[in-house]
Amino acid sequence: MDWIWLGILFFGLVVVIAFSEIIRKTQNWSIKVTRKFVHILTGVFIALTPFLMTDSCPLLVISAIFVIVNLIAIQRGWMPGMHATARISYGTVFYPISFFVLILLLWNGHKSILVIAMLIMAIADAAAAIVGESVAQPKNYRVAGELKSVQGSLMMFSTTLLITFLGLFFFSRIDGIFVSAGHALWYAIVVAIFVTGCEALSFKGSDNLSVPLGAAFFCYYLLSHSVNQNITLTFGVWLALVIALLSYKLRFLSISGAVATFMLGAVVFGVGKWEYSLPILLFFILSSLLSKAGKQWKRRFADTFQKGGRRDLGQVFANGGIAGVIVLLWNFFPSDAFYFAFVGSVAAVTADTWGTEIGVFSKIMPRHIISFKKVAPGTSGGVTALGFFGGLVGSALIILLGKLVTNRYFGLPEYFPLLLIFAGILGSVVDSIVGATIQAQFKCPNCGKITEKPEHCGGQPTALTSGIEAIDNDVVNAICALAGAGFAGLAFLII
């Protein structure tokens, strides 16, 4: 019977897509309208499948088919009413990918969460876009390069709040879970705040991935943990929001950096609690203050470094994204190895950041980490004794604080913290090596300066002179964080 329902579902989706194309051509509907029409009907249609089917295999099959079909359609320009946009978007590909992942993770025992997540993507996401595009005088803002509106974000929040509340209160009963109205409202507020951040930070249709997966994770966490643990999660979400807003106000972060910090902080603070929160908070606060020190002196490097001053989305996720992923892994697979990998990652990015922020004050010319030849200050792969010392202090502070706020060191050798400090330093060394070898370096055709920036001298495109163009400073920092996590995790496993 499930395969019969699959045939009906497939036929229904084809009819929806074909009908939207006919309406678009005969009634002169805009592409935006037909896209939202397909988005909403398809989402509602597939969100109801858990009530009709008992086996997940047919749904996995149809999801995989539509991933492939939609990707080909985008590349070849098929079905413009569904795929054509004024900007590059892979939303119609992310849509079935989200459904595929949610089926794999939630079909057995948590179908209600699957339904809630898909309805949020189908209705709330589309409602936010419709409101944002139809308001006469929208209050616009940009986070990840794409234009958003305050009105659209408010619609996203309120619609997500309503769907999540009703879903938790009514749909959760299909899984044998009963949520009171008060708890359903509480949980819905938490989910709506986080999901609104996901939508604001989206680009190229990525909200069709981040919104349902983010909503599903928070719903799952709230339904599977105690009230006290959920209070901690809620506190973590609000703490992340306050820190993000305050950091934006103090000009530590750009608007994209603030939203990214909120999302990362909500996971680390809410899920990881204090033993995970304090090390990354120490990194963020002290590194932000350090970046403001000697501003006049550091301005001479503004034309060399790709980024500086207020941290943006890329910098936040490059430095903290690996740590955030580790917290998620620890949540599902509790192990001390993940904690030590976490502090190793934070120690590495701290060592790298402090090495750079302090190293620029060195009065001795830096040396290239590969050739050991003297290089100009600010050169990728250039290191100084002062910078190395700054990195050592930064790594040590993170590891020592981490040791104070957890009991996970019990039974481990007394020298183990030294290994973790060394892991942080090694991560920063990997950063320098990658920066010296494969990080993209450009030359300005106007002034001849070698820089990390793809544009220079008032927006003049620069020419790649060495390295790989796709590997910028953010990628190098992410490699540093991953290396620190790997070295620290390995140290724990082999002692």
256's enclosing H/E stretch is: helix 255-292
Length of the chain: 495
Give the residue carrying structure tokens 């229904």.
12
Ranges of each domain in the chain? 271-495
**Integer Cα distance of 257 and 316 in angstroms:** 6
Write the pLDDT tens digit of every residue in 177-191.
899 999 999 999 999
Q: Is 450 left (phi over 0), alpha (psi -120 to 50) or beta?
A: beta
Q: Quick one: DSSP state of residue 374?
A: B
Q: Are strands 140-142 and 441-443 parallel, antiparallel or unpaired?
A: unpaired
* Contact criterion met (CB below 8 Å) for 46 and 56: no
Q: Which residues of 473-488 are buried (b: 16+ CB within 10 A; e: fewer)?
A: bbbbbbbbbbbbbbbb
Least confident of 301-305, 342-346, 410-414: 301-305
Q: Enter the tokens of residue 158.
A: 């309120």
Write the pLDDT tens digit of every residue in 152-167.
999 999 999 999 999 9
**Integer Cα distance of 275 and 334 in angstroms:** 14
Is the model's pLDDT at 20 over the cut of 90? no
* Contact criterion met (CB below 8 Å) for 231 and 129: no
Write the pLDDT tens digit of every residue in 39-70.
787 778 778 888 878 888 888 988 898 888 88
Beta sheet of 441-443, edge-to-edge order: 450-451, 441-443, 463-466
Residue scoring higher pLDDT (15 or 30): 15
Residue scoring higher pLDDT (70 or 476): 476
For residues 283-311, average pLDDT: 71
* Contact criterion met (CB below 8 Å) for 84 and 25: no
Report for 51-55, 431-435, 462-466: range of highest mean pLDDT: 431-435
Write the pLDDT tens digit of every residue in 85-140.
555 677 788 988 999 999 999 998 899 999 999 999 989 988 888 887 777 788 88
Query: Strand pairing partners for 109?
Result: none
Give Cα separations from 140 to 136, 253, 323, 336 (angstroms).
Answer: 12, 19, 32, 44
Single-letter amino acid code for the residue at 191:
V
Residue closest to 92 by CA, chosen among 72, 67, 118, 65: 67
5's enclosing H/E stretch is: helix 2-26
**Integer Cα distance of 206 and 128 in angstroms:** 15
The SS3 of residue 424 is: helix
Residue closest to 135 by CA, chosen among 121, 113, 120, 151: 151
* Contact criterion met (CB below 8 Å) for 456 and 303: yes
Integer distance in angstroms from the first to the last C-alpha of the chain?
Answer: 55
Residue closest to 223 by CA, chosen among 179, 164, 192: 179
Q: What is the pLDDT of residue 83?
A: 46
**Integer Cα distance of 372 and 298 in angstroms:** 24
Is the model's pLDDT at 25 over the cut of 80? no
Q: Are strands 382-383 and 441-443 parallel, antiparallel or unpaired?
A: unpaired
